[in-house]
Structure 1
Amino acid sequence: MTLGGLYVPLITPFASDGSVAVAALHQLAHDALDAGAAGLVALGTTAEPSALTGTERSTVLDLLTNVTRDRSAQLIVGGPAVPGTATAALTLVPPFLRPGEDGVVAHLTAVAARSPVPLVVYHVPYRTAQPLSVTALHRIAAIDGVAGIKLATGGIDADVIALMADPPPGFTVLGGDDVVISPLLALGAHGAILASAHVATGSYAGLVTSWEPALGHRLARLSAALFAEPNPTVIKAVLHAQGRIPTPDVRLPLLPAGTPSLAAALEAVPA
């Protein structure tokens, strides 16, 4: 299995009656792949999975499994129930508990041993409260069944630079911080999982495929605007304004994006 390129972690669009807007999700999936995405992420954080019922999660997963199969595209799946047909399982570093680096490595080793598919470890310390040194990242890369990492450390720090200067063989680094994806690609990241790529997908796909600083600067501005409020509220507002989803609705505890944030994001969309 070879990971790399752009992956779009799809939102869950809602209809006016509050149900999952299945047709809109189907079109979003095809739009992303048509615009150059290598694959999709189902039931990542951007999809609001904790606010979906079990039936809704199954509906979303079945739909995206069928689309990626029919399109010969890759599918990374978040959540505890990952089918063996998926490309990889997006697996969060244990949040809140702060088990320490040894605990993280032991946990991921156990998860990888029972997973039907390889893991893409999601390292996002500003959400999990669990930092990891470059030594720990190399230990994680050596776990049998770990294929790569979604790296979202909130910036380019010393450990990120050390990892990219000496990347583990066969270990895929996917950038997960939209605003700083350009410098991470410049350091040698293999691809990205970007919620921002719901908008201007082709531009983000082009940046990942062939890094170019001017394009990276323009897209950083767009990503900053799309993340001005909690994800995916502004993205949904933009997609609704563009007529691509039936409502901008999110589910609690999220609230819809404000009008100023929507206006700023629309202004930042490349012409």
Structure 2
Amino acid sequence: MTLTGIFVPLITPFAADGAVALDVLARLGHEVLDDGAAGLVALGTTGEPASLTPAEQEAVVDVIAGVSRERGTPLLVGARMDLAARPGVTAALSLVPPFVRPGEAGVIAHFETLAGTVPLVIYHVPYRTGQDLTPATIRRLAAIPGVIGMKYATGSVDAGTVDLLGDLPDGFALLGGDDPVISPLLALGAPGGILASAHLETRSFAELASAWRAGDAERARALGNRLAGLSRALFAEPNPTVIKAVLHDHGRIPTAAVRLPLLQAAAGRLSGLTPGRAPTPR
């Protein structure tokens, strides 16, 4: 399977009593798919997986996998490799080993070992992991059987990015993972992105990807500039605190609660953000 389009890494909504609101999670999944998302991500960073119990993690994956099966759309699962083997899951979203900085040869060896278990989308986010990867190393990772893509979140679009996108193996999807710079990455040929910001204005993000694929640069530039501003506002405090506050303000989730070590976003962060989408009854 070649991954294309906009994937939404779903938040984990909490009810007033602090429990995971699984019915709301399912509704959110359907809403973003209704609005043009190509697929979903469960237990990505946006979903606060480290603050969930193992049972909660399993319940979240089961609910989102059910939505994905019903809709016939791909699903990536982060945090736990064992959950990526469940029915309805397309691939594991697997982080480059963080903190230890094993070197590029160590990263390659790590993913050569993992790739024999389930299909993998590698998550490359050097400003969190402390491990940089050259374009040559990413191409070596892309050539590993079972590696089908990468969430590419280096914080910028530079000469290395241009070099990389100019020569990638068939069947390997380099998906943008830095929301404010998704438009230039799509312009260079990335097939899509994994974007927390796409909880809001999902249709516009999907249209942005379609516009660049169609070569409609004028439309894409206008959309990209506006959506970059939205993304910067949504990431003004630690993710997903602002996104949750806006979703709650729009009536799409029951609370804006996050779990420690996160704290709820300041109320002033909601000013001027995009109007909400009315929840779709299901």
Q: Give the 5 Å matches for 1:247-258.
A: 247-258=255-266
**Unaligned 5+ residue runs, structure 1?**
none
Matching residue's letter, 1:44: G
Question: Which residue of structure 1 aligns with residue 221 of structure 2?
Answer: 213
Is 1:245 paired with 2:253?
yes
Q: CA deviation at 1:158?
A: 2.1
CA contact (8 A) 1:225 1:264 kept: no
Question: Which residue of structure 2 aligns with residue 197 of structure 1?
Answer: 198
CA deviation map 1:5-40 (0-9, x unaligned): 111000000011100111211110000110011110
Helix, strand or coil at the partner of 2:123: strand
Matching residue's letter, 1:135: A
Name the % identity: 59
Q: Give the 5 Å matches for 1:56-205.
A: 56-80=56-80, 81=82, 82-85=84-87, 86-115=89-118, 118-205=119-206
Q: CA deviation at 1:167?
A: 2.2
Please identify, of 121-130 and 167-176, the stretch whose mean Cα deviation from structure 2 is larger. Answer: 167-176
TM-score by length of 2: 0.92
Q: Give the 5 Å matches for 1:3-42.
A: 3-42=3-42
CA contact (8 A) 2:173 2:191 kept: yes
Runs of 4 or more, structure 1, over 6 Å off, are none
What count of residue pairs does the alignment treat as equivalent? 267
CA contact (8 A) 2:2 2:172 kept: no
Q: CA deviation at 1:169?
A: 2.4
CA contact (8 A) 1:141 1:168 kept: yes
Please identify, of 147-156 and 75-84, the stretch whose mean Cα deviation from structure 2 is larger. Answer: 75-84
| Structure 2 CA distance for partners of 1:266 and 1:210, relative to 1, 3 Å | closer
Helix, strand or coil at the partner of 1:248: coil
Q: CA deviation at 1:266?
A: 4.5
CA deviation map 1:140-196 (0-9, x unaligned): 011111001110000012221110122222211110000000000000001110000
* Superposed CA RMSD: 1.3
| Structure 2 CA distance for partners of 1:66 and 1:12, relative to 1, 3 Å | same
TM-score by length of 1: 0.96
Matching residue's letter, 1:164: L
Matching residue's letter, 1:133: T
Question: Which residue of structure 1 aligns with residue 236 of structure 2?
Answer: 228
Helix, strand or coil at the partner of 1:170: coil
CA deviation map 1:30-73 (0-9, x unaligned): 00110011110011110000000111111111101111101111
CA contact (8 A) 1:90 1:120 kept: yes
Matching residue's letter, 1:83: A
Q: CA deviation at 1:264?
A: 4.4
**Unaligned 5+ residue runs, structure 2?**
213-219, 278-282
CA contact (8 A) 1:234 1:265 kept: no
